[in-house]
Amino acid sequence: MRIQHNITALNSHRNLTNNNSSLTKNLEKLSSGYRINRAGDDAAGLAISEKMRAQITGLQTAQKNAEDGVSLVQTAEGALTEVHSMLNRMVELATQSANGTYSSTNRNEMKEITALKDEIDRISNTANFNGTTLFKGFTSKAVAIHAGETSSPNNQIKITLKQMSSTGIGDTNTGVTGVNISTQTGATAAINVINDAIDAVSSLRSDFGALQNRLEHTINNLGVQTENLSAAESRIRDVDMAKEMMAYTKNNILVQASQAMLAQANQVPQGVLQLLQSNFNLMIIESAGPLDGRFLFPTGGLYFLWISHLPSPFFLPTAGNPWNAAWIP
């Protein structure tokens, strides 16, 4: 039996340290909800997870871009709805003016058509989305909507915008600006010009409708991609709470068992003292002066006496150093 190195205690302490470390990791994972909290937990898994997170962020941003594209198209289409309504009213006025029952005075009184042309110009000049003019300052232009997580040109959806002022729709030279219904001949010609303008607006509205449907499908597709990629990233990085709770319970029991066994291992060296006490009797005498009389020892045993100051005369069957032994038969 050795007491200089308590191997059992050292083994118990090592197991306690390992179990405590495992328990700490269990608590960290359960509290954070992540299986990977640092690169040391799973270096390869962390790299894949971070790459997926970048893709997810790109997809989410692309989805917002597509939603902004839908808003732009809806804004433009809403403006064209009013232009359409005014053009229909202009056709109505031109058709009335072309009727032979109207006099020149009646036709001159149809000034509403001029106000309608002015309103078409006002809408064309003021319609905008987030500062981007929709129908002014150009013949035709395209607004690119970035609807993907990469910079590939395939991830761009272009929205074509055209000039919709009174000079930009209908006749290629004058649009509806040159419409004049003050005469029957002019009113008859105006009907064709205005109908051409209606066709142009209808065509652009049809394009906007197709773009809106495309963008809505794009939004749905981006949402599905984001959902699937998030699920894949979760399987790599997130912790399985039920499984981790089982591991926590196991390690918690092991920690408590290790603590108990370490306490038991520390009691082993004390058995040496009990062994000594069961075979020997130890008597310690503190004395600073003469000792008179005799010491009475029970028979049957080997006694060790430590006398701090050995007086004289003091006789024992065996005398020598301050440690003195006497066998009492």
CATH 1.20.1330.10 corresponds to the domain 44-237: yes
pLDDT tens digits for 262-300? 888 888 777 766 666 655 544 444 444 444 444 444 544
| pLDDT for the residue numbered 135 | 86
pLDDT above 70 covers a percentage of the chain that reads 78
pLDDT at residue 85, as a whole number: 94
Phi, psi of 50 (to 5 degrees): -65, -40
DSSP string across 30-48: HHH-BS-SSTTT-HHHHHH
Average pLDDT in the chain: 82
Rounded-to-integer distance, Cα 252 and Cα 136, Å: 72
Q: Count Cβ atoms below 10 Å from residue 93 Cβ, excluding itself.
A: 21
Per-residue pLDDT tens over the stretch 96-132: 989 888 888 888 878 888 899 999 989 988 999 988 8
For the chain, the domains span 7-33+240-267, 44-237, 280-328
Between CA 307 and CA 288 the distance in angstroms is 9
Taking residues 133-160, report their average pLDDT: 83
Residue-wise DSSP of 21-87: HHHHHHHHHHHH-BS-SSTTT-HHHHHHHHHHHHHHHHHHHHHHHHHHHHHHHHHHHHHHHHHHHHH
Mean pLDDT in residue range 186-201: 90
Tokens representing 114 are 């001029």
Q: CA 90, CA 78: separation in Å to the nearest integer?
A: 19
Is-contact 161 182, C-beta < 8 A? Answer: no
Query: What pLDDT score does 260 carry?
Result: 92
Cα four-point dihedral sign 72, 74, 75, 80: positive
Adjacent-strand bridge partners of 140: 162
Helix (H, G, I), strand (E, B) or coil at 321: coil
Phi first, then psi: give them for residue 315, nearest 5 degrees.
Answer: -120, 130
Which residues are paired to 238 by β-bridges? 34
